Structure formats: structure tokens, C-alpha cells
């Protein structure tokens, strides 16, 4: 849940990057951190496990600056994607104001995407949130691997598998190379803040 | 709800985000690499490394070994690319032997050595000095990794004599670097069934401990929020 301090005129919101293991959630945050390190004055915190996998979470705080007289701060988190860290995933998702679902475009990861999205819906439901109402952006990652001859799921398949009911904004991206990583982040921040404003004023 | 006010705020957010995260500043180095890359003999190697990055399998690591060997022949007369390929071969061998138990920095170093190789091979106008500097950085990282592996191996040996033996990465010299193979009987895929079972039990125990730790933290948070 976002923290809104009317006295200090501060807003702090939380966005969680969710998705199957090895899908590129951490790579998204690392790209943003690397690309804008001269503008992001904060440090990225990351807790890795054996073999360079996310154990608990990655955390990247972003100072957005002044918007409508409020100082806006975003906190970007990733969850560990591996199936076994389910309790950790649920904990990190607590209080999320927006979610980016990072789907893996590899053809062999189709089932993992579906399971992870289902897992997201279940965890949100446990916090009395609906996947249909939370600000959500879908990112179809690893599109660059098509150039290397690696079989990928067509975008139509990804859309029909994951987004046919959600109708969330979606981006084809490559977290390693960068295309649409920033656009994904900008979109989720924009719709999250829009949703918070609606919530606050209703 | 004031629609115009909301639209105004959305415009402010979007404009602020555009300013903060504008990607106008391009990276000349990466642009140079992109334009040079299509003709580069490194393209198959890059594809293999991308595959290794998302899944470490015997097949991908065997392809890595074959491709590095092919490139070593191509660059046999160029000392800097050749040495970087030696580093890639050594770490590739180490990862092949250890798989999931390999040092977490090993894959990072593979990627870093590849980037250095790509830079030296594809960047036009790069001076010999710049190339040497890149090489020295990678060699330093390689040596550091080697030390860390040695420390890990020692601490593991102290902890238990049953632990999997870490292979040693040999000193990088002018001759091709080689990984000292551990005894074949200790390869991960060839350990005795009772040892594999004991390792699996330990892993399950660690997992259960970690999950309980998280659950306890969650309960604490829940209590505090009450």
C-alpha cells in the first residue's frame, strides 16, 4: 500500500516485477540502474543465491521528483521466480501498488508463464487484491533471442495465453539489450500513480 | 472526480518520466558494436553464451567448448583475443564440471570476458594499449575468481570430507589455460547414489529452513500491522 504523507507532501509507491524464474526480472532492474546510474542517486540492493539467482528480492528505489506538489518516490522490487520460493514471493508482493509481469518468450517456457501468472493472481487474492484491478503491465521479454535462432513464442500466443482477459498494456522487450525496458517501467509508474490518485480522491 | 485535474496530473507524471528517463543519450560504444557485429565471427559464440545465461546444460557447455576452440584457431596469431578465449575456455570447463555448484561469479566472468573480447575484436580504432588494459582487467578478475574458488574449496574441505571437490583453475600463462580436472569419480553426474541422496536431503532441509524463516518474518509483520 502506498504511503502518502500529506504533511510532508510525499508519496511512496511500490511496484513489483513478477514472473517465472530466469525470465529477466532482475535484468530489467539492472538495466535501468546501469543506464540511468548518473540520474538515479540511490543504490540497487540485490540478494543473490548460489548460481546468481535472486534469493529474496532486488530493490531499486527511484526518486521521481515533484509531481503536483508532491515528492514522488517509487520502490521497484523483484521477486525470486523459482517455484520453491513461494512464501518469499508472497511476502514481497505485500502492499504492492503496481505489478510488471515479466513473461519469458522462450517457447519452452510457455507453461511456466501460465503458472506464474496464476500464482500472482492467487497471491494478490490472498491480500484481497484482484489481478484485474491492480495496475499491471505485461512484458514479453527475450525477444532478441529470435535473432539467435532460438524458438520463441509468437506475440499472439503470449497475448492469448496471458492477456486475453486482463487486457493490460504489454511490451515486447529485451531486458539484456534494453528495448522497451524503460517504456515498461514508465508505463507501470504512470498507471500506478494514476490509480493512486483515483483511489485517493474517491 | 475532476477529470481535467486527473488528466493534468497524468500529463505531469508522463512529462516528468520522459525527462528523467529519456534515452536520447545513446551509447556510442554499443552503437559501434551493433553496426560491426553482423560480420563478426563472434556471433555464434554470443548465441551460445546467451543460451548458457538462461540454462546451464551439458549441451550448451559442449557447444561453448567447440566454439571457443574454433575461435582460438582464428585468433591464434592475435595475443589479446586468444588470451580472452583461454579465459572463456577455462571458466567454461569449470562451470561444466560444477554446474549448479559453480561459484556464482563464474557466469558473470564468462559474460565479462566475452564483452571484452567483442570490444577488442569489433571496435574500430581501438589502440593496442586500450586492448591490453581490457585484457589485464579480465585477467585480474580471473585471478580473483581463482582465489575465491580456492578459499571456498578449503572451507568446504574443512566443513566436511564428503563435500564435492572444487576443481582448480590453473595459473593463466602464455600457454592455453587449462582447468585441472577433478577425479572423474567425483563428477556431479557420477557421484554415488547415497551421496546424491544425502546432498538432496541437505538441500531440502535448507529450503524448509529458508521458507520457515520467511513465514516467521511474515507473521511478525502481520502482528506488527495489527
Domain count, chain A: 1
**Of the partner residues B16, B18, B46, the one whose CB lies closest to the CB of residue A67:** B16
Chain B neighbors of A48, CB-CB under 8 A: 104
DSSP alpha helices (H): ranges in B40-192? 43-54, 58-74, 79-98, 105-122, 128-159
Q: Is the ipTM here above 0.90?
A: no
**What is the interface size between A and B, counted as CB pairs within 8 Å?**
93
Distance from CA of B43 to the nearest CA of A (A): 8
Q: Is residue B56 within 8 Å of residue B99, measured between CB atoms?
A: yes
* CATH classification at residue A38: 3.40.50.300
Residue with cell 507473521: B219
Distance from CA of B173 to the nearest CA of A (A): 28
User: What does the pLDDT look like over A37-79, one tens digit per residue?
Assistant: 777 777 778 766 555 556 667 888 998 988 888 899 999 999 8
Domain presence at residue A3: no
Terminus-to-terminus CA distance in chain A, angstroms?
Answer: 16
Domain presence at residue A199: no
Domain presence at residue A201: no
Q: How many CB atoms lie within 10 A of CB A171?
A: 19
Task: For residue A74, give its domain range.
Answer: 9-191
**Angle at which helices B105-122 and B43-54 pack, to 10 degrees?**
160
Chain A neighbors of B49, CB-CB under 8 A: none
> If you average pLDDT over residues B150-164, what whole number do you get?
67
Domain range annotation of chain B: 29-182, 192-226
DSSP for A22-49 reads TSSHHHHHHHHHHHTTTT--SPPEEEE-
Q: Name which of A84, A126, A77 is nearest A100 in CA terms.
A: A77
Name the 3-class secondary structure at A70: strand
User: What does the pLDDT look like over A107-130, one tens digit per residue?
Assistant: 999 999 999 999 999 999 999 999
Characterize the bridge pairing of strands A3-5 and A10-18.
antiparallel
**Of the partner residues A67, A106, A201, the one whose CB lies closest to the CB of residue B1:** A201
> A94–B221: do the CB atoms touch at under 8 Å?
yes
Give the span between the Cα atoms of B195 and A122, in whole angstroms. Answer: 38
Instruction: Establish if A202 touches chain B: CB-CB under 8 angstroms.
Output: yes
What pTM was estimated for this model as a whole? 0.57
Distance from CA of A162 to the nearest CA of B (A): 22
User: What does the pLDDT look like over B72-81, one tens digit per residue?
Assistant: 988 888 889 9
Confidence check: pLDDT of B66 > 60: yes
Give the span between the Cα atoms of B206 and B208, in whole angstroms. Answer: 6
Beta strands in A19-123 (DSSP E): 45-48, 54-67, 70-78, 98-104
Q: Is residue B31 within 8 Å of residue A177, measured between CB atoms?
A: no
Ramachandran area for residue A22 (φ above 0: left; ψ -120 to 50: alpha; else beta)? left
pLDDT confidence tier of residue A14, bands split at 50, 70 and 90: very high
**What distances in angstroms separate CA A106 from CA A81, A144, A148, A150, A151, one per listed residue?**
15, 11, 12, 8, 6
Amino acid at each position: 500500500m502506498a504511503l502518502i504523507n500529506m504533511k510532508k507532501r510525499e508519496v511512496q509507491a511500490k511496484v513489483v516485477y513478477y514472473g517465472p524464474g530466469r525470465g529477466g526480472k532482475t535484468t530489467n532492474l539492472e538495466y535501468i540502474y546501469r543506464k540511468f546510474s548518473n540520474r538515479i542517486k540511490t543504490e540497487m540492493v540485490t540478494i543473490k543465491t548460489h548460481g546468481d539467482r535472486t534469493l529474496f528480492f532486488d530493490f531499486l528505489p527511484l526518486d521521481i521528483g515533484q509531481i503536483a506538489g508532491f515528492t514522488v518516490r517509487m520502490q521497484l522490487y523483484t521477486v525470486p521466480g523459482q517455484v520453491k520460493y513461494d512464501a518469499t514471493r508472497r511476502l514481497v508482493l505485500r502492499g504492492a501498488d503496481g505489478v510488471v509481469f515479466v513473461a519469458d518468450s522462450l517457447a519452452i517456457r510457455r507453461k511456466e508463464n501460465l503458472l506464474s501468472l496464476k500464482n500472482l493472481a492467487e497471491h494478490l487474492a490472498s491480500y484481497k487484491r484482484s489481478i484485474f484491478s491492480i495496475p499491471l503491465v505485461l512484458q514479453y521479454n527475450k525477444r532478441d533471442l529470435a535473432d539467435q535462432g532460438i524458438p520463441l513464442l509468437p506475440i499472439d500466443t503470449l497475448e492469448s495465453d496471458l492477456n486475453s482477459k486482463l487486457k493490460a498494456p504489454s511490451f515486447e522487450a529485451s531486458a539484456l539489450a534494453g528495448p522497451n525496458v524503460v517504456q515498461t517501467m514508465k508505463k507501470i509508474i504512470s498507471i500506478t500513480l494514476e490509480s493512486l490518485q483515483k483511489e485517493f480522491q474517491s | 472526480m475532476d477529470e481535467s485535474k486527473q488528466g493534468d496530473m497524468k500529463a505531469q507524471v508522463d512529462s516528468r518520466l520522459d525527462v528523467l528517463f529519456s534515452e536520447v543519450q545513446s551509447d556510442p560504444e554499443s552503437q559501434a558494436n551493433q553496426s560491426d557485429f553482423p560480420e563478426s565471427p563472434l556471433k555464434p559464440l554470443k548465441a551460445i553464451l546467451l543460451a548458457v545465461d538462461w540454462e546451464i546444460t551439458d549441451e550448451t557447455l559442449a557447444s561453448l567448448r567447440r566454439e571457443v576452440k574454433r575461435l582460438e584457431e582464428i585468433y591464434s596469431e592475435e595475443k589479446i583475443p586468444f588470451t580472452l578465449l583461454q579465459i572463456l575456455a577455462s571458466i567454461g570447463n569449470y562451470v561444466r564440471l560444477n554446474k549448479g555448484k559453480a561459484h556464482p561469479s563464474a557466469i558473470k566472468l564468462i559474460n565479462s570476458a566475452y564483452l571484452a573480447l567483442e570490444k577488442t575484436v569489433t571496435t574500430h580504432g581501438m589502440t593496442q594499449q586500450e586492448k591490453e588494459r581490457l585484457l589485464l582487467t579480465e585477467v585480474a578478475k580471473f585471478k580473483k575468481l581463482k582465489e575465491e574458488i580456492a578459499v571456498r574449496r578449503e572451507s568446504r574441505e574443512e566443513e566436511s570430507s564428503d563435500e564435492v571437490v572444487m576443481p582448480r583453475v590453473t595459473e593463466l600463462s602464455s600457454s592455453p589455460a587449462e582447468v585441472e580436472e577433478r577425479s572423474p569419480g567425483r563428477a556431479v553426474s557420477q557421484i554415488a547414489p547415497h551421496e546424491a541422496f544425502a546432498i538432496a536431503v541437505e538441500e531440502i532441509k535448507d529450503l524448509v529452513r529458508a521458507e520457515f524463516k520467511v513465514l516467521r518474518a511474515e507473521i511478525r509483520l502481520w502482528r506488527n500491522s495489527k
